[in-house]
Amino acid sequence: MAVLVTGGAGFIGSHTAIQLLEKGYDIIVVDNLVNSSVESLNRVRRITGKDFKFYEADLVNKEEIRKIFIENNIEAVIHFAGLKAVGESVSIPLRYYHNNLLSTLNLCEVMEEFNIKKLVFSSSATVYGNPSSVPISEVFPLSATNPYGRTKLMIEDILRDLYASDNDWSIALLRYFNPIGAHSSGLIGEDPKGIPNNLVPYIAQVAGGKLDYLKVFGNTHPTKDGTGVRDYIHVVDLAGGHIKALEKVSTSKGIEAYNLGTGNGYTVLEVVEAYSKACGREIPYKIVDNRPGDVAACFADTSKAKEELGFSTTLTLQDMCMDSWKWQSNNPNGYEK
């Protein structure tokens, strides 16, 4: 089966590409490299010993997508491509709406034209807005607290409308919690541009000596040590969720949302401790003000993904920190030589 992987040079896409190749799928990757490097794909080839086609193309340009569908016998699509920085989406919202919405509209229009109706979409736990309780299940009310989150919510709505109009579609909306970690080879991992926004990439750079200390955003949340609680999921486990979702959309029609998390919540200070253990040194930190918009606690009810996809995670927080550190220490400047 040939699968188009949009955004396949990125963090989650490259880890998923490995598992697709290992499972015997043919893949075609498209990415405009706006937030990634072609080197990640060279490393995917190195890890798997398999080759695949790569198109450096922007999904905002519909003709480029059409060309890919003409030249390949695509049967399903995993759609990772999108801009994802919450803070940046607040300062340049139009770019986020333009990129994330147009890419998805173009992709779906071309899929429709070629009668390809199997789609796995990268949504996010951000679609739950400020959840009234935890764990969060898929039936919780949806809302957005920033333009990035609103693009995910809008795309979910568009895909629900699409399915309602044509029941031949088969769509999985994967709501990721907090993906971290890296492939165990240490060859691929998360390579944020500039100063990282997210906790673990930031800690990784503190551990590697590139940043002085971690700013812990608040210790007065109603959690066990006052710092924010999140559901961190190893990117390799998360990649496995895409294989399960692909199997699901290949064998049944409909549209369903699935939480992909572990169901466990850890505080910022617990992550700091696990990372210190992984890298063998103290992670200096200072408590600072809360980050505006942050929720105190967010973790998944994972029962639907378990029952309907057969998805479960095996890797622990310690594994996530060890693999993150292996990637960081082997590649202090990411994919840059």
Contacts with ligand UFG by CB under 6 A lie at 84, 86, 124-126, 176-178, 197-199, 202, 214-217, 228, 230, 268, 291, 294
Taking CB under 6 A as the criterion, the residue among 11, 25, 169, 299 binding ligand NAD is: 11
Residue (of 320, 113, 92, 319) closest to 199 by Cα position: 320
Under rule CB under 6 A, residue 146 binds ligand NAD: no
Q: Which does 291 bind (CB under 5 to 8 A by kind): ligand UFG, ligand NAD, none?
A: ligand UFG
Under rule CB under 6 A, residue 36 binds ligand NAD: yes
Under rule CB under 6 A, residue 84 binds ligand NAD: yes
Q: Tell me the catalytic residues.
A: 148
**CB 144 to ligand NAD: min, Å:** 13
Q: Which residues contact 25 (CB under 8 A, 6 or more apart)?
A: 1, 2, 3, 246
**CB 120 to ligand UFG: min, Å:** 16
Taking CB under 6 A as the criterion, the residue among 3, 4, 5, 7 binding ligand NAD is: 7
Q: Give 256's strand partners.
A: 172
Under rule CB under 6 A, residue 32 binds ligand NAD: yes
HSE of 238, CA atoms in CB hemisphere, 13 A: 29
**Contact (Cβ atoms closer than 8 angstroms) between residue 155 and residue 100:** yes
Taking CB under 6 A as the criterion, the residue among 1, 2, 60, 287 binding ligand NAD is: 60
**CB 143 to ligand NAD: min, Å:** 16
Q: How far is CA 233 from CA 230, 300, 326, in A?
A: 9, 10, 17
What phi and psi, each to the nearest 5 degrees, are found at residue 84? -135, 5
What phi and psi, each to the nearest 5 degrees, are found at residue 282? -65, 145
Q: Which does 137 bind (CB under 5 to 8 A by kind): ligand NAD, ligand UFG, none?
A: none
**CB 137 to ligand UFG: min, Å:** 15
- Considering only residues 175 to 194 of the shown chain, the ones binding ligand NAD according to CB under 6 A are 176, 179
Stretch that binds ligand NAD, among 75-83, 135-143, 208-216, 299-307 (CB under 6 A): 75-83
Q: Which residue has the tokens 């693999």?
A: 323
State both tokens at 333. Answer: 């400047």
What phi and psi, each to the nearest 5 degrees, are found at residue 256? -140, 145
Helices 268-279 and 317-330: crossing angle, nearest 10°? 50
Cα–Cα distance, 156 to 147 (Å, whole number): 14
Under rule CB under 6 A, residue 120 binds ligand NAD: no
**Contact (Cβ atoms closer than 8 angstroms) between residue 198 and residue 88:** no
CB of 139 or CB of 165, closer to ligand UFG: 139
Under rule CB under 6 A, residue 163 binds ligand NAD: no
